[in-house]
């Protein structure tokens, strides 16, 4: 079976397992784990749409995650249906992407990265100064809380972002982003409207980050507004994307599974030292697999052919030496 066919079969089997998992698990621990993997997949994929496919490193991704979380949480607690509140949070984040991206994308390289980080930090500090430190669910909402609908919401979002990424990757827009990522000046020379492409990708990326934030705001019993804007959301998404494979469709999912499992294991065994060890491991993995897990998987057929060819040459050399010996 070809690698591409194997990936499709695995993807379909995995999707089916995720859909039916709530019916076959009797504990909320498994669903909470599944929820977190799906949430981080959606968040990392939203960063990947701009940073991976377009090569624009956005270090302020947490700002849009936080805006979506805050908007969704406030509207939902004030009586709006969660679906409508989530759409409003997504729209708020996308609108912020337009407002910030229109001037910000005039900057290039590290200037754009630092500029987005500065905007995110300003929003985080402002929210921390204006809003209460924590928002807890009212008794009625708390009594009706269930993990299953939140799990399916995260599953739907992760599927939506991944399908969008796959469609974009094989579209004219995706090819334009790829050309821009390799060389922006050359892309402009061949007719790619780089600013328009970057702005549209920034808006889509911001909107999906806001949707992930909205699901996060709906999930938590106690919600800390300032934490939703914490830069850790940006850097977690970045780490996951690079681990799985930056600029690939399936990289964020592979990276999210590995990231969460490794982080949990290290936290349980090493306590406060787990952050240091995790950082070292991340550097080693990225150095060993610069294309991430997905590119390593794709290279397996080439590696297999090289090993077979090397073994065949070795056998042939051995046979020739035996024939020459008296």
Residue 81's pLDDT is 94
Tell me whether residue 299 is exposed, middle or buried, using C-beta atoms within 10 angstroms of its C-beta: 0 to 12, 13 to 18, 19 or more: middle
Query: pLDDT by residue (tens digit) across 228-261?
Result: 999 999 999 999 999 998 989 989 999 999 999 8
Contact by Cβ (8 Å): 61, 180: no
Average pLDDT, the chain: 86
Q: Please tell me the pTM assigned to this model.
A: 0.87
Look at residue 134 in the predicted model and tell me its pLDDT. 79
Structure tokens at 217: 């705001």
| CA distance linking residue 8 with residue 13, whole number of Å | 9
Q: Which range of residues forms the domain containing residue 184?
A: 3-324
21 token code pair: 């998992």
End-to-end CA distance of the chain: 45
State the pLDDT at residue 277: 77
* Token reading at 78: 């004030």
| pLDDT at position 7 | 61
Which regions in the chain score pLDDT beneath 50?
A: 1, 307, 311, 315
Q: How many domains does the chain have?
A: 1
User: Residue 16's pLDDT is what?
Assistant: 80
Query: Distance between CA atoms of 320 and 315, rounded to whole angstroms?
Result: 9
What CATH number is attached to the domain comprising 138? 1.10.3470
Q: What per-residue confidence (pLDDT) applies to 311? A: 47
What are the pLDDT digits (tens) for 39-54?
A: 999 999 999 999 999 9
pLDDT at 317: 55
User: What is the CB-side half-sphere exposure of residue 160 using CA atoms within 13 A?
Assistant: 15
Per-residue pLDDT, 310? 56
What pLDDT does residue 295 have? 77
Q: 119-148, pLDDT tens digit by residue?
A: 999 999 999 899 887 778 888 888 888 899
């Amino acid at each position: 079976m070809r690698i591409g066919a194997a990936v499709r079969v695995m993807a379909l089997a995995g999707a089916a397992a995720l859909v039916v998992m709530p019916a076959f698990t009797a504990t909320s621990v498994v669903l909470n784990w599944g929820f977190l993997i799906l949430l981080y997949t959606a968040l990392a994929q939203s960063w990947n749409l701009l940073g991976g496919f377009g090569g624009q490193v956005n270090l302020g991704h947490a700002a849009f995650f936080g805006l979506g979380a805050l908007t969704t949480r406030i509207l939902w607690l004030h009586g709006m249906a969660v679906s409508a509140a989530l759409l409003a949070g997504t729209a708020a984040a996308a609108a912020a992407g337009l407002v910030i991206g229109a001037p910000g994308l005039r900057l290039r390289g590290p200037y754009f990265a630092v500029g987005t980080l500065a905007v995110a930090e300003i929003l985080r500090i402002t929210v921390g100064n204006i809003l209460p430190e924590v928002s807890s669910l009212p008794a009625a909402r708390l009594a009706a809380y269930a993990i299953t609908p939140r799990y399916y919401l995260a599953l739907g979002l992760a599927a939506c972002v991944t399908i969008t990424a796959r469609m974009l990757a094989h579209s004219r827009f995706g090819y334009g982003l790829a050309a821009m990522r390799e060389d922006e000046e050359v892309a402009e020379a061949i007719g790619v409207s780089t600013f328009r492409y970057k702005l549209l990708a920034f808006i889509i990326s911001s909107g999906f980050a806001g949707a992930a934030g909205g699901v996060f705001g709906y999930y938590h019993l106690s919600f800390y507004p300032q934490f939703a804007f914490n830069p850790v959301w940006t850097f977690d998404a970045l780490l996951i994307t690079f681990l799985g494979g930056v600029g690939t469709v399936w990289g964020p999912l592979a990276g999210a599974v590995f990231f969460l499992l490794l982080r949990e294991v290290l936290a349980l065994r090493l306590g406060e030292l787990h952050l240091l060890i995790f950082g070292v491991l991340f550097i080693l993995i990225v150095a060993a697999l610069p294309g991430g897990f997905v590119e390593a998987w794709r290279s397996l057929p080439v590696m297999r052919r090289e090993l077979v060819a090397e073994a065949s040459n070795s056998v042939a050399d051995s046979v020739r030496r035996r024939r020459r010996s008296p």
